[in-house]
Structure 1
Amino acid sequence: MATRNLYAHDPGDPGWTVPAAGAARFSWEYDEGRDRLLSLYRKGKDKQWDAEKRIDWSLPVDPYDPLGLPDETSPLHGTPYWDRMSDKDKGELRRNYAAWQFSQFLHGEQGAMVCAARIVESVPDLDAKFYSATQTMDEARHAELYGRFLHEKIGLVYPIDDNLQALLGDTLRDSRWDMPYLGMQVLIEGLALAAFGMLRDITDKPLPKQILAYVMQDEARHVAFGRMALRDYYRQLSRAELREREEFVIEGCYLMRDRLRGEVVLTDFGLPRDEAVRLSEESEYLRVFRQLLFSRIVPCVKDIGLWGERLQRAYVDMGVLELGDASLDLLMAQDEEIAEKLDAQRFAEEEAARKGEVAEAIAAGAGEAGTGVGEAAAGAEGAAETREV
């Protein structure tokens, strides 16, 4: 079924055209590069995987409880609205929220794919072009699997959130080659890692857990790439140039913080928009989610050298300044470990299932052979009795 037929709201034009600025840059030096980036490029090649094969798409998903999240995560829980809802309505609400979240993941991954392609085009260094080429493939795979999950397992799609679209547009329209790094690798990928991680750790449903864990394994490399490239470049910039990037980060962080409400889902259930915003803002789940959201962004921003006074004041206002001391390397190592453990568990289960099938086949074969021997013995006895008669 065409995606347009699955949208909860009319997405408008069938596509979105962003006027792009900036130059395509070629490098004729093919034998030099930063060891760290080339090592990451080699890892990017080694870690390529096929969403068709690595994901077990045969796993069932209840579209009315696709993530298995506790009822307490709903902003309506504990309100008169929740008390008046039937079980069917609550299931529809869970379906819509999951569709909204995964739709934003889907649109964000397409944006990441386009930004990675822009980095290949505009970054001056060949080692960065090499890695960005592997990331473009990663993002294509992520868009593929999120799209498939929405089409086949939930059957509902939401248009791109206005704030996410605004941040993508600002990132792509800027002519400076480092801005796709900053907008995508630091802000949007940082947001994605936090959102994926929270759902990965809460959901008890095996299919979305697989999808989120494997995507996070890729995204951790992408953030590491952005950190390496921008840290090197920003050491060369003037205070005024750094201030411009910090303003971009401040605006982007406020946009992302505000886009997380998802009040459109509540308005779809008949709530006035002001009421939907209020209930979303008062949600304890949203408060925790926002805190975790910046756990990936703030330390990365500090690490690459954007830590001016105005940026710090903005993070104080958001209540996330202390996250600047968090260890990104530890978080990314955990992402890698969780994906590898999930693989090991799945392979062990598949191996056990194969051994069980072999044992059953052997037992069945032995039984058939025993039956054949018994029949042959009975036939011999019958023949002997006939001869005696």
Structure 2
Amino acid sequence: MATRNLYAHDPGDQGWTVPATGAARFSWEYGEGREDGSGRDRLLALYQKGKDKQWDAQKRIDWSLPVDPYDPIGEPEESSPLFGTPYWDRMGEKDKGELRHMYAAWQFSQFLHGEQGAMVCAARIVESVPDLDAKFYSATQVMDEARHAELYGRFLREKVGLLYPIDDNLQSLLGDTLRDSRWDMPYLGMQVLIEGLALAAFGMLRDVTDKPLPKQILAYVMQDEARHVAFGRMALRDYYRQLSRAELREREEFVIEGCYLMRDRLRGEVVLTDFGIPYDEAIRLSEDSEYVRIFRKLLFSRIVPCVKDIGLWGERLQRAYVDMGVLELGDASLDLLMAQDEEVAEKLDAQRFAAEEAARKGEVAEAIAAGAGEAAGVAGGGGASGTGEAPGAAAGPQEV
């Protein structure tokens, strides 16, 4: 089913073409690991895990589960920037449902567009990264991101029934990432910033929702994304140790600008303006919402410790994080967060398989019981007639 007629605003006819620069790099080193103690063995192990963890979005997700398009996630009323305002007091349940519908569509649409961007960036990494082991892993990530775009697109088309075009600030960050000719920039822009933001957003919704289908989607996508962020950390941590202070400052400036762009893109004021609220008022309501402020801060919980871990922690970058109120997030344990993401997905699988196995056992027991009942009925009928004929055999002549 085409999505064009499902967009809240016209996304344009020609898609989006980004003039890309940079070099395609080949490597003639095909050996397995190195003797110099480099991180290549770790990348090859991650590549193996990427192969082992491939899955089919058509089969692993239970698409038969129903979704209420006017309450797809089940977020609390406090999550709306209109909550506690006169606008909210005047709204009936129908209007509140429509607002939830539009916000979910906007949010998951940005997830969808971001996943397509991640797929393109991962393909650029395959092309431009110097080492073959990194090419191997990023090739598995291209498939991961294709799967994510597939399932978010299906969720929006079939379950929500509404899409929004890509947010201007997300598009700007993607464009900056793709136009930069340096091979490490798709890592930094996508693996660290955009993927880090997405992981935090997915995790918050995954932990809030009690709706089975979006919970499955978010948990399984996060299991993949944990590997992607680990990949970016490995590659950039080793590479950035070799850069000059000036080169590191250039990357830090990119991170600062990207973080401000992402912070500003999280408002979703287009939903409020579509709801009839003037633009300036929509911005004010989003900025004044306590829930939205907390949400926006927590969205940096995956980015800040990753930036610190890869060695981008200059004074100017730290001042920017102080301004955003997220500096203390640099002390969070990324490894612990990623392990939790893996654990949630595995537990969800175990619960689903246990429930399915119990249901199968119940069906088998019912079938056995039904078969036994039929056999007893046949035996009882045969004994009453005193013949070997079926119970209804004598009815023929009588009917005639």
Q: TM-score range by the shorter chain?
A: over 0.9
Deviates more, 1:74-83 or 1:252-261: 74-83
Distance in 1 between residues matched to 2:291 and 2:165, nearest whole Å: 23
Match of 2:135 in 1: 129
| Deviation of the 1:3 alpha carbon | 1.0
Match of 1:15 in 2: 15
TM-score, scaled relative to structure 1: 0.97
Identity %: 89
Pairs within 5 Å for 1:1-389 = 1-33=1-33, 34-380=40-386
Deviates more, 1:207-216 or 1:280-289: 280-289
Deviates more, 1:347-356 or 1:10-19: 10-19
Match of 1:387 in 2: none
Distance in 1 between residues matched to 2:343 and 2:231, nearest whole Å: 19
Deviations 1:240-264 (A, max 9, x none): 0000000000000000000000010
Distance in 2 between residues matched to 1:73 and 1:305, nearest whole Å: 35
| Deviation of the 1:169 alpha carbon | 0.1
Distance in 2 between residues matched to 1:230 and 1:176, nearest whole Å: 12
| Deviation of the 1:89 alpha carbon | 1.1
| Deviation of the 1:382 alpha carbon | 12
Distance in 2 between residues matched to 1:336 and 1:284, nearest whole Å: 30
Identify unmatched segments of 5+ residues in structure 1. 384-389
Distance in 1 between residues matched to 2:334 and 2:297, nearest whole Å: 15
Letter in 2 for 1:173: R
Distance in 2 between residues matched to 1:364 and 1:322, nearest whole Å: 64
Distance in 2 between residues matched to 1:14 and 1:158, nearest whole Å: 16
Deviations 1:118-162 (A, max 9, x none): 000000000000000000000000000000000000100000000
Distance in 1 between residues matched to 2:387 and 2:186, nearest whole Å: 87
Distance in 1 between residues matched to 2:271 and 2:76, nearest whole Å: 17
Distance in 1 between residues matched to 2:193 and 2:32, nearest whole Å: 29
| Deviation of the 1:278 alpha carbon | 0.7
Distance in 2 between residues matched to 1:24 and 1:217, nearest whole Å: 30
Letter in 1 for 2:303: I
Letter in 1 for 2:10: D
Letter in 1 for 2:364: V
Does the CA-based 8 Å contact 2:32-2:41 persist in structure 1?
no
Distance in 2 between residues matched to 1:14 and 1:348, nearest whole Å: 47
| Deviation of the 1:381 alpha carbon | 8.7
Identify unmatched segments of 5+ residues in structure 2. 34-39, 390-400
Letter in 2 for 1:72: E
Does the CA-based 8 Å contact 2:21-2:180 persist in structure 1?
yes
Q: Alpha carbons of 1:382 and 1:268: their partners in 2 closer, same or farther (altered >3 Å)?
A: closer
| Deviation of the 1:285 alpha carbon | 1.9
Distance in 1 between residues matched to 2:103 and 2:14, nearest whole Å: 23
Does the CA-based 8 Å contact 2:382-2:388 persist in structure 1?
no
Distance in 2 between residues matched to 1:32 and 1:366, nearest whole Å: 61
Letter in 1 for 2:166: I
Q: Which ranges of 4 or more aligned residues in structure 1 deviate by more than 4 Å? A: none
Distance in 2 between residues matched to 1:32 and 1:305, nearest whole Å: 27
Q: What's the C-alpha RMSD, in Å, of the aligned pairs? A: 1.1
Number of aligned residue pairs: give it: 383
Does the CA-based 8 Å contact 2:43-2:231 persist in structure 1?
yes
Distance in 2 between residues matched to 1:95 and 1:365, nearest whole Å: 48
Distance in 2 between residues matched to 1:199 and 1:3, nearest whole Å: 24
TM-score, scaled relative to structure 2: 0.94
Distance in 2 between residues matched to 1:158 and 1:230, nearest whole Å: 33
Letter in 2 for 1:14: Q
Distance in 1 between residues matched to 2:321 and 2:81, nearest whole Å: 25
Match of 2:36 in 1: none
Letter in 2 for 1:97: Y
Deviates more, 1:150-159 or 1:66-75: 66-75
Deviates more, 1:111-120 or 1:11-20: 11-20
Distance in 1 between residues matched to 2:289 and 2:221, nearest whole Å: 27
Deviations 1:342-364 (A, max 9, x none): 00000000000000000000000
